[in-house]
């Protein structure tokens, strides 16, 4: 049984829950939620996410990516960016899956649960192995990845030494 009431893509009626989650997010963490750009309303943002998933109008260096949101009692309690393929940057730094939990919802196993949903999504797309990364100093994220079957391949230092090295884990599906 899932910890969430539902896991799905955003819908127009989710604007209040999305805004609440965005306001709860720790933007100083270096990990950001994608959000509407200046001048973009929520409906346009939802269309932008749908285009990203289909690979429509992607900026250079981007790959098709689905974004799933986990809901509990009307709140967004977790989010996963699920990249359909890897480019060089994602192979070294970002991986197939990026996930996050707003601070007020942490320590409820939501990170582990959203990662399970993201892995299942990629399994349904035919992938056999997925790459998940985290900062070397992010002990909580490393534990989540390892609890979901992640096997550490290596730790890669970043060119910019002001940012932590990346731990790279593979999860066999």
Domains, in order of start, for the chain: 6-125 (3.40.630.30)
Helix (H, G, I), strand (E, B) or coil at 90: helix
**What is the secondary structure of 32-72 as a DSSP string?**
----PPTT--HHHHHHHHHHHHHTTTPPTT---EEEEEEEE
Query: 0.75 cut: is pTM over it?
Result: yes
Main-chain dihedrals φ then ψ at residue 129, nearest 5 degrees: -140, 145
> Which one is predicted more confidently, 158 or 33?
158
pLDDT one-digit tens code per residue, 142-157? 999 999 999 999 999 9
Q: 114: which 2 tokens?
A: 């959203």
* Model confidence pLDDT, tens digit, residues 118-147: 999 999 999 999 999 999 999 999 999 999
| Residue 33 binned pLDDT confidence (cut-offs 50, 70, 90) | low
Pairing of strands 129-135, 151-156: unpaired
């Amino acid at each position: 049984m899932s910890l969430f009431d539902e896991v799905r893509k955003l819908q127009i009626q989710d604007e209040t829950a999305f805004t609440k989650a965005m306001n709860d997010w720790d933007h100083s963490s270096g990990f950001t939620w994608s959000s509407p750009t200046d001048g973009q309303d929520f409906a346009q943002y939802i269309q932008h996410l749908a285009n990203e998933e289909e690979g429509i109008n992607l900026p250079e260096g981007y790959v098709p990516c689905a974004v799933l949101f986990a809901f509990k009692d009307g709140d967004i309690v977790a989010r996963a960016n699920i990249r359909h393929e890897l480019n060089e940057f994602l192979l070294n730094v970002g991986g197939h899956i990026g996930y996050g939990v707003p601070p007020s919802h942490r320590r409820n196993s939501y990170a582990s649960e959203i990662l399970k949903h993201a892995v299942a999504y990629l399994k349904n797309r035919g992938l056999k192995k997925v790459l998940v990364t985290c900062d070397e100093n992010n002990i909580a994220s490393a534990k989540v990845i390892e609890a979901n079957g992640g096997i550490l391949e290596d730790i890669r230092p970043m060119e910019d030494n002001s940012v932590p090295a990346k731990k790279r884990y593979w999860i066999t599906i």
